[in-house]
Amino acid sequence: MTESPMTDSPRISLRDVLAAGRRIAPYLRPTPLYRYPALDALTGARVWVKHENHQPVGAFKVRGGVNLIAQLSERDRERGVITASTGNHGQSVAYAARLFGVRATVCVPEGANPVKAESIRALGAEVVFHGADFDAAREHCEALAAEHGFRYIHSGNEPHLIAGVATYSLEILAEQSDIAAIVVPVGGGSGAAGACLAARAVDPGIEVIGVQAEAAPAAYLSWRSGDLVAAPNSTLAEGLATGTAFDLPQRIMREYLSDFVLVSDDALLDATRAMIEKTRNLVEPAGAAALAAVLTDPDRFAGRSVAIVCSGGNISPAQLAGLWPAAAG
Ligand SMILES: Cc1ncc(COP(=O)(O)O)c(C=O)c1O
């Protein structure tokens, strides 16, 4: 990784992404890329689903966590790591910390998805519940890091996380040569930044489209304005629920992202139901955001080969029951 002379922000190259792929390969298998005729019929596009919900922690983030923790210095391993998360990034850090014998602490909001919190704890990390939302948990985490001297792992401003998660996009493009667009759910933007790096290296003609929740649009507004801006954060899709934007993924998205769209929480719920019905996979609302974007603007994707990233499947029983209240009642 080299420093950019213009900005001090690290430049992540294809070489870094390839190295991340080699680094994570002993621990994480490539995930499936599947077509479902029923999804094609629903969307009018040729839809390839990248199944990051099949990762051992049920979300793409683990690629970044393994890539980062595998490269920690001896000193950082001894200090232990700390992070803040709504759940999936925390699972990623906990999973990787366990692999490499590093102590981990994960700060989550008080109302965190219980399935994710339980998994983080079962992986051996300490879970600290704090605050009403991700940003409150993040501020608490930063204070604990300073107080205890832990290595703080930011969920977006970490080149090794971005290089790690970029590997799913390389897998998509290595497996299917006719992909015209990759549609990626965005919270802080690490996944979309990774897709930008991979697509740019393979073929700059490939569109990368970010999707964020209308009810938590900080990254979207920042990308559109060119400044880092905060925004209200009330989406039900906790994987997308951040109220601030992160510098490093924003820089990468500004250079390459083709477009950025917003979807409503109702569209996220419709897409979650559709993903579960048409693919028979467990999908959390953030993991259905890419399908929501395709369903919201079908003309844009009609007849094209589109990869949609099913970024996570960690839906709680209560969320699942809420998707079909009549059936549950
Ligand atoms: C399932 C899921 N999808 C998408 C995202 C957004 O990822 P990023 O913060 O890299 O944009 C997350 C973040 O935690 C997630 O858990």
Tens digit of each residue's pLDDT (9 = 90 or more) over 8-61: 557 899 999 999 999 999 999 999 999 999 999 999 999 999 999 999 999 999
pLDDT tops 90 at residue 211: yes
**Residue 107: in which H helix or E strand, if any?**
strand 104-108
β-pairing, 207-213 with 181-185? parallel
Residue 276 reports pLDDT greater than 50: yes
Q: How far is CA 235 from CA 144, 242, 286, in A?
A: 27, 9, 10
Could you tell which of 57, 60, 86 is best to mutate to test the pocket of ligand 1, judged by most ligand atoms within 8 Å of the CB? 60
329 lies in some domain? no
Tell me how far the alpha carbon of residue 187 lies from the centroid of ligand 1, in angstroms. Answer: 5
Atom of ligand 1 nearest to the CA of 314: 1
Ligand 1 atom with the smallest distance to the CA of 189 is 11
Cα 60 to ligand 1 centre (Å) = 8
For the Cβ of 89 lying below 6 angstroms from any atom of ligand 1, the answer is yes
261: enclosing H helix or E strand? strand 259-263
User: What is the predicted pLDDT for the residue at 57?
Assistant: 98
Q: Which of the four pLDDT bands, split at 50, 70 and 90, describes residue 7?
A: very low
Domain hosting 295: range is: 2-60+159-323
Q: What would the pLDDT profile of 141-162 be if each residue is shown by its tens digit?
A: 999 999 999 999 999 999 999 9
* Residue where the block lists tokens 């719920």: 269
Q: Which of 105, 138, 153 is the last residue of a domain?
A: 153
Biggest CA pair distance of the chain: 60
Co-location of 176 and 243 in the same domain: yes
The verdict on the CB of residue 239 being under 6 Å from ligand 1 is: yes
313 within domain boundaries: yes
Contact (Cβ atoms closer than 8 angstroms) between residue 109 and residue 131: yes
Considering the domain architecture, whether residues 202 and 308 belong to the same structural domain is answered as yes
Q: Is 181 a residue whose pLDDT tops 80?
A: yes
The yes-or-no answer on residue 311 being catalytic is: yes
Q: Are 149 and 164 members of one domain? A: no
Residue 246 pLDDT grade (very low, low, confident, very high; cuts 50, 70, 90): very high
Distance 260 CA to ligand 1 centre (A): 15
CATH number at residue 308: 3.40.50.1100
| Number of folded domains that form the chain | 2
Q: Is 85 a catalytic residue?
A: no
For the chain, give the percent of residues with pLDDT over 70: 97
Ligand 1 in reach of 311 Cβ (< 6 A): yes
What is the Cα–Cα distance from 209 to 53, expressed in whole angstroms?
20
Q: Is the pLDDT of residue 100 over 50?
A: yes
Report the Cα–Cα distance between both ends of the chain, in Å, rounded. Answer: 54
Residue of 169, 222, 311, 316 with catalytic role: 311
Distance between CA atoms of residues 148 and 2, nearest Å? 30
Rounded mean pLDDT, 269-280: 98
Other residues' Cβ atoms within 10 Å of the Cβ of residue 42: 18
CA of 45 to the centre of ligand 1 (A): 24
Residues in the chain: 329
Q: Which helix (H) or strand (E) holds 140?
A: helix 134-148
pTM, 2 dp = 0.96
Contact, 312 vs 239, CB < 8 A? yes
- Asked whether 105 and 70 are in contact (CB, 8 A), the reply is no
